[in-house]
Chains A and B, each alone.
Chain A
Amino acid sequence: MVIYLSFCGWRVTGSEKIVGKERDLKSTDYANTPLEKRNTQKELEKKLATTKPVFAAKKNDSSYADSNQTKEQSQYLLQLVPQQAELLVYIPNARSLVETVWKLPALQNGLKLKAAQPTLQSPEMLAALEILKFQEKTLGTNWPELLDQLAGNGIVFAAGPFPENSKILLMMQGKNEEAVAKWFAQLPGLVMSEMRMRGTNIPAVKIAVPEGEIIPFGPEFVLARSKSTCFFSNDRKILEYSLNKLKNLNKSKTDKVQTKTNEKSSEKVQENQKNNSKLGQAKSALKEDHSGSLSGGLIDRKEFISAYKARSQNSLLWIWFDLHPLHEAGPFKEQFKQPRDNFVLTVLFAGWFDILKRANYVSVTLGQQKEQLSIQIDLPAGREGQAEDVALHLPEDSKMIGSLPLLSPIGTMFSHSYYHNLGLYWTKREAILPKSIGKQLEKADEQIAKMNEKFRLSKILTEVGPYFRFVVTAPQKCDYSIEPTVRIPGLAQIISLRHPEFGQNLNDAVKAAAFLVSTQISIKRFEDNEDGVVLYGYRFPEKGSFPNDPDGIRFNFIPTYAQIGDQFIIASSPNLARELIHILKKENLKKEKINNSQQVPVSATPQQASLANMRLEFLAQGVRANLQASIQEAILQTMLDAGVSEEEAKQQTSQLLQYLQQLGTTELLTNYGKNSFQIRFIWNWSSK
């Protein structure tokens, strides 16, 4: 069932001949219809409009708009989940989700790639398509209408407890009871025959029960159906619980209808209308329909209800995960304490661990808006009550800039902007760091100070500003006469300074470090000027031996640094440094306005500063440029991986380059509210 659902979205029609209002559905060779000749989505919809399904759909049934009836019906599924569930996946409208994904330009274009053909023609894919075609034929309805009939009122997957003895429950509710009944009747046979061909015999005997029918499937699994709702579980008790709940709900619904026809229930209607929140809708429906049989459901749990209430109306898919087990889990308990022993985790993830410790659930929402697909992860813990080490990753003032604009020099593949207050490692070392690390810091501070007071570690940590930016670009051309065997992407780190004068200290520190390095390998310092900004850098020797670098990797780099205003650039090549200088010069002008402005947006564009304390962006254009720089490698890799000729591999690689052009950007950001934390992943394929 799960396999069927997951492959549903790949289906395009086969070659069905439509004769008048009847459909002549010959079984077609499943491998014979070329992808290019299969119907487009428009043609499919046109065909559907002219065909008469075997099961006549009710009015408006083919619409996948989230109607009130659909909402209420899909909420029924949520009411059937027992309270032990620790994971819930909810798809309000399967057709909406599948069609959204199916219509993605990236997917549609991806399916046309030559490199994708072996996957599309794989035995597993073809088997899934064959099953789907069979279902369309026997049920007399094409996808996506079929999806509506079988799961149009929602799909819910629940699991728990973790990590041991987990039970699973999968439910789906269709819009057409007859279609669901017919599909359910053929499902065991379908699965059994496939398993038999794989050498496994699973007995399945139908048992009629008052609620519907139950089919134990092998020693572990149980299937059940009640009217238009199907169930699948690895625990009979869980399944029977859900069946019972549904029976009670249906009974109460019938009673409710009876009551409504007998009495004028205007007070109840008014009461319902007053309850605008989804919480109100759910609770009031429960009140009316259950009259006391509320115990034992997930929907009774506070953390679930508040998460459900907060979810977006337009979510295509929603996941809820209970974090209580995580709080008890041994390995995580250690990481929640402060200061934690693992210093590296503090540096990288102090904020996230703090949130995980205080939040009692996490919810994930998938949504789409125009040319954007987004995944949003929400946790109900924020600035209020944060641990001390979170200040490493978060400005104290909630209105202060969280991250500076993302930088995108030419060929950028990856850009990162984040807040990290290095000064706190010194000023709050006792609270944040393990004792031993704190002592080491103090020792290092003393020792470095003996060499040169200017380079004192404590000074460096407290003078370096809290805003960092990092970029990775396609390989940059370095001005050496020798080509490296392997081309490495360009890298740059941009550090903010609390006081621009400190830039001179950093310059001196780099010089001193370079001097020490030059005692081991010969490097040559150079100085240059770019639009009034001085660049310094070091070149590696092209002649003579160089330890441990037979492939000339060093010829990818001419480490370069420069200061512009309160920004200190360290780049892998002068070209990259020059480009960043120009970008930052423009930015310096804009930043003054932002500093004075009252409004710093959260949902900033990448080119703006933001309240979000961490942002990163992947750019498909940069990946394309990187691939272009290593085109021969890509062609050879394709030849070896796909077993194709050189010419075919060139065609596939060329197609891939074109494909990458339209993938747009993906951005990830994290943001703190007073009592909330959000991670947002946004894929934007707009051509603008």
Chain B
Amino acid sequence: MSAIHLKSEIDPSFAWAPYEPGKTNPWTKAKVGHFYNRAAFGANWNELQEGFDLGPQKLVDRFIHPEEKQQKKIKDFYVRSNAQMRTLQKLLDINQCSAWWLSRMRQSPSPLQEKMALFWHNHFATSFAKVGNIGYMLGQYQTMHEHALGDFVQLLQAISKDPAMLIWLDTITSEKGKPNENYARELMELFSLGIGHYTEMDIRQAARAFTGWRVKDKKGVFEAKNHDDGEKTVFGKKGKFQGEQIVYLCLEQKACAEFLVRKFIRYFISEDLQLSEKSLSALIESLANQFRRDYRIDRCIETILRSNLFYSPLAYRQRIKSPVDFTVGMARTLESALGSLTLAETVELLGQNLFRPPSVKGWDGGTAWLNGQTILFRNQFANTMCKSRQPSALIANSKPKEDTGNSNLESPNLDWSTASPLPYILASKYQRHSLPEQKDFFFQLFFQGDLSPETRNHIDQFAEQLRNPDYPAHWSERHRQEYASISLCYQFLTLPEYQLN
């Protein structure tokens, strides 16, 4: 991680202005890789090349304003994927749901939407452990996915009535005379305003407004007979508020947009932005003013992704990869067809159990992802990936066909006699056969050529050792070649730099 010890100052108007490549700050593959790591779940070799050719602004357009052809591809993908949801409910296994979502993240032609759905999943953290119904959890995911890059107002209203949320925060037990404060509190503290922007009285009064909600026929329904329809005072305003009005009242608070923008910045820029408090506040306020106008999530994210700040050293490799970023990113980069259930089991081991966040606060993220045990598991996963064998057809066809959305959906008749380890097969696909060629290939693929001289030296020395190792006598020549590829790739994937996003 590049060391930034001093708190910097930055002009918000410059920070949020669109990045334009120049001599002192050219467009590089490292920036393409950075973009894909933040806006998606990593890039494969072809995507790196294409992204570089497109340039920064067209690359963002592809993600936020896709062309008609791309839109059709996205639509077709989600029609097919969504059709699986009903079957998914029948499996009665939340791990399969986790695997299914991870497969979407890996294969979706609209990865930014999945990335934002993941953001909202952490923001409106709801756990299957209490909800206990897969249909409700998938329904909530669908709501978040639908509005992921849409209107935050609609999203917040929908979540307030979502069956999983109603159960999770006990709104279904809240009734006139016995209001449950859980949802009102979390709405203000965690979902819209943040601590310090409401009073306990606001919470108590808002709780009365949320009485009368139940879950029937898999939907949130309002039962007037259980509702407290008396006058409430929230944020200094009086009225016979129901839940919907409380949501609007929260959105009217200045703190709401600022609270959310701060979270967007943590998610896309850095969890610990090295700016002075004054600069940070100005930065947030500037973007919050824009966001507050219409609460359109896509416009806010677009501003961030186009900005100078996004491509600055303040953002570059300043986040630690979450377990999802790490596993899905590795699978995408290596063009792996490894089963998503394995990915789901791995993210669970690494501490990010999809559909089962630890609490309503979600996952802490940042350095909390890394400890002695999780680093070991990350390395074990890298080992599994590098050693996993798959038929060459799965990688050879990995460039998406027209109108299909994804290669893995169109690769029948796999010939397992052609199977080889992933790094070997990938390097072969891109015509990197010798060890030095493979070393350079992985260097570009995983780090886009950006590593410290010390680290490069370490890798060079390792690659040199691989040229003349003491292989067992019973190993065939092919086995030796594959071993060298696996070892080299593994070295790259276990570098500390690879943990950074």
| Chain A interfacial positions (CB closer than 8 Å to B) | 27-37, 114, 117-118, 120-123, 130-131, 133-134, 189-190, 193-194, 196-197, 485-487, 545, 550-551, 630, 632-633, 635-637, 639-648, 651
Q: Which of B99, B409, B411, B475 contacts A130 (CB 8 A)?
A: B475
Q: A31 near B420 (CB under 8 angstroms)?
A: yes
A647, B84: Cα distance in complex, Å: 14
Q: A30 near B416 (CB under 8 angstroms)?
A: no
Q: A123 near B478 (CB under 8 angstroms)?
A: no
Interchain Cβ contacts under 8 Å between A and B, 5 examples:
A27-B477, A486-B90, A636-B91, A640-B99, A648-B412
Q: B412 near A32 (CB under 8 angstroms)?
A: no
Q: Which of A37, A130, A632 contacts B479 (CB 8 A)?
A: A130
A134, B473: Cα distance in complex, Å: 9
Of B28-36, B187-195, B302-310, B336-344, the stretch lying at the interface with chain A is: B336-344
B residues in contact with A134, CB < 8 Å: 473-474
Provided the pairs A194-B472, A637-B96 are in contact, do residues A32 and B340 lie with their beta carbons within 8 angstroms?
no
Q: Which of B96, B389, B413, B471 contacts A122 (CB 8 A)?
A: B389
Which B residue's beta carbon lies closest to that of A123?
B387
The answer, yes or no, to whether B67 is at the interface (CB within 8 Å) is no
Interface size, B (range):
35 or more
The answer, yes or no, to whether B419 is at the interface (CB within 8 Å) is yes
Provided the pairs A34-B417, A122-B389 are in contact, do residues A642 and B92 lie with their beta carbons within 8 angstroms?
no
Q: A642 near B476 (CB under 8 angstroms)?
A: no
> Which residues of B, 168-212, contact A by the 8 Å Cβ criterion?
none
Q: B337 near A643 (CB under 8 angstroms)?
A: yes
Q: Which of B91, B216, B415 contacts A545 (CB 8 A)?
A: B216
Q: Which of B337, B421, B472 contacts A190 (CB 8 A)?
A: B472
Q: B337 near A644 (CB under 8 angstroms)?
A: yes
B residues in contact with A34, CB < 8 Å: 415, 417
User: By CB atoms of chain B within 10 A, which of A29, A134, A641, A648 has the most?
Assistant: A648
Which A residue's beta carbon lies closest to that of B470?
A196
Q: B389 near A642 (CB under 8 angstroms)?
A: no
The answer, yes or no, to whether B20 is at the interface (CB within 8 Å) is no
Give chain A nearest CB distance to B482 CB in angstroms: 8
B residues in contact with A196, CB < 8 Å: 470, 472
Q: Which of B92, B103, B215, B419 contacts A640 (CB 8 A)?
A: B103
Q: B472 near A642 (CB under 8 angstroms)?
A: no
Give chain B nearest CB distance to A541 CB in angstroms: 14
- Mostly, the A contact residues are helix
> Per-position contact with A for B216-228: 1 when CB-CB < 8 Å, else 0?
1110000000000
Q: A551 near B135 (CB under 8 angstroms)?
A: yes
> Which residues of B, 214-264, contact A by the 8 Å Cβ criterion?
215-218
Q: B417 near A35 (CB under 8 angstroms)?
A: yes
A637, B90: Cα distance in complex, Å: 11
A648, B339: Cα distance in complex, Å: 13
> Which residues of B, 443-472, contact A by the 8 Å Cβ criterion?
470-472
Q: Which of B84, B89, B216, B389 contacts A118 (CB 8 A)?
A: B389
Provided the pairs A131-B474, A194-B472, A642-B339 are in contact, do residues A32 and B417 lie with their beta carbons within 8 angstroms?
yes
> Which residues of B, 389-424, contact A by the 8 Å Cβ criterion?
389-390, 408-417, 419-421
Q: Which of B91, B338, B472 contacts A643 (CB 8 A)?
A: B338
> Which residues of B, 369-390, contact A by the 8 Å Cβ criterion?
387, 389-390
The answer, yes or no, to whether B88 is at the interface (CB within 8 Å) is yes
The answer, yes or no, to whether B290 is at the interface (CB within 8 Å) is no
> Per-position contact with A for B262-274: 1 when CB-CB < 8 Å, else 0?
0000000000000
Q: B96 near A640 (CB under 8 angstroms)?
A: yes
The answer, yes or no, to whether B494 is at the interface (CB within 8 Å) is no
Q: A485 near B135 (CB under 8 angstroms)?
A: yes
Q: B87 near A636 (CB under 8 angstroms)?
A: yes
The answer, yes or no, to whether B483 is at the interface (CB within 8 Å) is yes
Q: B389 near A640 (CB under 8 angstroms)?
A: no
A residues in contact with B336, CB < 8 Å: 643
The answer, yes or no, to whether B63 is at the interface (CB within 8 Å) is no
Provided the pairs A643-B338, A645-B411 are in contact, do residues A551 and B89 lie with their beta carbons within 8 angstroms?
yes
B residues in contact with A636, CB < 8 Å: 84, 87-88, 91, 96, 100
A residues in contact with B103, CB < 8 Å: 639-640, 643
Q: B408 near A633 (CB under 8 angstroms)?
A: no
By Cβ-Cβ distance, the 8 closest A-B pairs, closest first, are: A134-B474, A193-B472, A34-B417, A117-B416, A643-B339, A643-B337, A29-B478, A647-B412
B residues in contact with A189, CB < 8 Å: 473
Which B residue's beta carbon lies closest to that of A640?
B99
Which A residue's beta carbon lies closest to that of B414?
A648
| Chain B interfacial positions (CB closer than 8 Å to A) | 80, 84, 87-92, 96, 99-100, 103, 133, 135-136, 215-218, 336-341, 387, 389-390, 408-417, 419-421, 470-479, 482-483
A residues in contact with B133, CB < 8 Å: 550-551
Q: A633 near B216 (CB under 8 angstroms)?
A: no
Give chain B nearest CB distance to A29 CB in angstroms: 4
Q: A639-B103, A640-B339, A645-B408 are in contact. List 13 more A-B contacts (CB 8 A).
A: A27-B476, A30-B479, A32-B478, A114-B416, A121-B389, A123-B389, A197-B471, A485-B90, A486-B90, A640-B340, A643-B336, A643-B408, A646-B80
Q: B411 near A648 (CB under 8 angstroms)?
A: yes
Q: A645 near B339 (CB under 8 angstroms)?
A: no
Provided the pairs A640-B100, A642-B339 are in contact, do residues A651 and B474 lie with their beta carbons within 8 angstroms?
no
User: By CB atoms of chain B within 10 A, which of A118, A197, A635 has the most?
Assistant: A118
User: By CB atoms of chain A within 10 A, which of B136, B479, B483 has the most?
Assistant: B479
A486, B96: Cα distance in complex, Å: 15
A648, B408: Cα distance in complex, Å: 10
A648, B387: Cα distance in complex, Å: 23
A550, B476: Cα distance in complex, Å: 58
Which A residue's beta carbon lies closest to that of B84?
A636
Give chain A nearest CB distance to B242 CB in angstroms: 23
A27, B472: Cα distance in complex, Å: 14
A residues in contact with B339, CB < 8 Å: 640-643
A residues in contact with B414, CB < 8 Å: 114, 117, 644, 648
A315, B236: Cα distance in complex, Å: 87
Q: A645 near B90 (CB under 8 angstroms)?
A: no
Q: B218 near A550 (CB under 8 angstroms)?
A: yes
A193, B471: Cα distance in complex, Å: 7
Q: B476 near A28 (CB under 8 angstroms)?
A: yes
Give chain B nearest CB distance to A543 CB in angstroms: 11
Q: A193 near B473 (CB under 8 angstroms)?
A: yes
Provided the pairs A30-B476, A121-B389, A551-B135 are in contact, do residues A645 and B409 lie with their beta carbons within 8 angstroms?
yes
A residues in contact with B91, CB < 8 Å: 633, 636-637
A33, B215: Cα distance in complex, Å: 59
A194, B483: Cα distance in complex, Å: 12
B residues in contact with A37, CB < 8 Å: 417
Q: B410 near A645 (CB under 8 angstroms)?
A: yes
User: By CB atoms of chain A within 10 A, which of B96, B338, B412, B477 has the most?
Assistant: B412
Q: B472 near A633 (CB under 8 angstroms)?
A: no
A651, B414: Cα distance in complex, Å: 11
A37, B417: Cα distance in complex, Å: 10
Which B residue's beta carbon lies closest to that of A30?
B476
Which A residue's beta carbon lies closest to that of B89?
A485
Give chain B nearest CB distance to A643 CB in angstroms: 4
Give chain A nearest CB distance to B330 CB in angstroms: 14
Q: A644 near B100 (CB under 8 angstroms)?
A: no
Which A residue's beta carbon lies closest to that of B389?
A121
B residues in contact with A31, CB < 8 Å: 389, 417, 419-420, 478-479, 482
A residues in contact with B472, CB < 8 Å: 190, 193-194, 196-197
Q: A487 near B90 (CB under 8 angstroms)?
A: yes
Q: B412 near A651 (CB under 8 angstroms)?
A: yes
Give chain B nearest CB distance to A654 CB in angstroms: 12
A33, B419: Cα distance in complex, Å: 11
Q: B218 near A632 (CB under 8 angstroms)?
A: no
Q: Which of B90, B215, B412, B473 contacts A630 (CB 8 A)?
A: B90
Which B residue's beta carbon lies closest to that of A553?
B92
B residues in contact with A118, CB < 8 Å: 389-390, 416
Which B residue's beta carbon lies closest to that of A196?
B470
Q: B87 near A197 (CB under 8 angstroms)?
A: no
Give chain B nearest CB distance to A189 CB in angstroms: 8
